[in-house]
Amino acid sequence: AEQKMELQERLKQLKKERNAIILAHYYQRDEIQEVADFRGDSFLLAQKAAQTDAEVIVFCGVHFMGESAKILAPNKTVLIPDERAGCPMADMVNVDGLRKLKAQHPNAKVVTYINSSAEIKAETDICCTSANAVRVIQSVDSDEIIWVPDKNLGHYVQQHTDKKLIIWEGYCNTHDMLTVKDVYEMRTKYPEAEFVVHPECRPEVVAMGDFVGSTTAILEYCKKSDRKQFIVGTEDGTGYQLRLDSPDKEFHFATKFLVCPNMKVNNLKKLVKCLETMKPQIYVPPVVADRARISLERMLQV
């Protein structure tokens, strides 16, 4: 506890010295969410990065999120506590494969989930997050959409649009772990609870949801609901904000496997160290960033 307080003190000083802002995704460890200037989902944090006056952005999340921040704020320094915090889903799509698919469907527009590399965003018409996916799809002036990389979110979105989605076969290793059996068992154990679920989960699991939505949508839903018990079908880190918003409610994660190991690579110690050393910094080659920025800015305007 003493070490934690020392780290928090040191962080406060460094933030002032460097004119830095700390952004943390809801899936980060509690010790990081506690000291963040802003907590958010991938959409809210991208928006914050685009708007901030700070000179330095410390992005506590996974690599593609830091990249998106750098693309949207090219003149700022973007630090991440540990560059090994990647996203396996983002790595499931490559530029060659996407180009081939585009060649096969020349009339389709490419809608890419923000969980993707800068190179993929550079090949994209418009980005989206789980919070705005349906709205983004509806805004595109084409009836045929190439959707990368999340097949589960793609399946969910397909049910809410008449457009034809050509869906890439990627998925989130963490959300995809949740099974129908897990949810049945939890429902038996907590019959009074509502099941809230992220659309990165498997279609058959999403179909069981009393509420389906992005991280922020789940947080808002649980805050407003009169129910006192919830079975949560998204990453364990959201427990921090859920309990902060509703200390009188009970939140049960649907399995103990809903923990993204990549998100947990970051910790308070590494956060302090990156501001001390100003490393590791995110770099995106300007030729890539300039093209990727168009697809991100289009998303922010929807």
Query: How many Å apart are CA 234 and CA 227, to the nearest integer?
Result: 18
Question: Any known ligand binding at 25?
Answer: yes
Query: How many Å apart are CA 82 and CA 262, to the nearest integer?
Result: 10
Helical H segments across the chain, by residue range: 2-18, 30-33, 42-51, 63-72, 95-104, 118-121, 133-139, 151-158, 180-189, 203-206, 215-224, 239-245, 268-277, 286-301
Burial class (CB in 10 A: 0-12, 13-18, 19+), 28: buried
Query: How many Å apart are CA 233 and CA 190, to the nearest integer?
Result: 14
Of 90 and 108, the one with the shorter C-beta distance to ligand SF4 is: 90
Q: Is 172 one of the binding residues for ligand 13P (CB under 6 A)?
A: yes
**Per-residue string for binding with ligand 13P, 209-228, x by CB under 6 A?**
-----xx-------------
Q: Is 130 one of the binding residues for ligand 13P (CB under 6 A)?
A: yes
Stretch that binds ligand 13P, among 39-47, 52-60, 157-165, 181-189 (CB under 6 A): 39-47
Stretch that binds ligand SF4, among 6-14, 101-109, 170-178, 283-291 (CB under 6 A): 170-178
The entry of ligand SF4, ligand 13P, none near residue 7 (CB within 5 to 8 angstroms by kind) is none
Q: Is 131 one of the binding residues for ligand 13P (CB under 6 A)?
A: yes
Q: Is 115 one of the binding residues for ligand 13P (CB under 6 A)?
A: yes
Q: If we measure between CA atoms, which residue out of 9, 15, 17 comes closest to residue 38?
A: 15
Distances (CA, A) of 292 to 71, 125, 131: 7, 9, 20
Stretch that binds ligand 13P, among 35-43, 138-146, 267-275, 288-296 (CB under 6 A): 35-43
Of 137 and 172, the one with the shorter C-beta distance to ligand SF4 is: 172
Q: Is 41 one of the binding residues for ligand 13P (CB under 6 A)?
A: yes
Q: What is the DSSP string of 102-131?
A: HHH-TTPEEEEESSS-HHHHTT-SEEE-TT
Question: Any known ligand binding at 274?
Answer: no
Q: Which residues bind ligand 13P (CB under 6 A)?
A: 41-43, 87, 115, 129-131, 172, 200, 214-215
Q: Which residues bind ligand SF4 (CB under 6 A)?
A: 27, 62, 87-89, 115, 172-175, 235, 260, 262-263
Annotated binding site for iminosuccinate: 25, 42, 113-115, 130, 198-200, 215
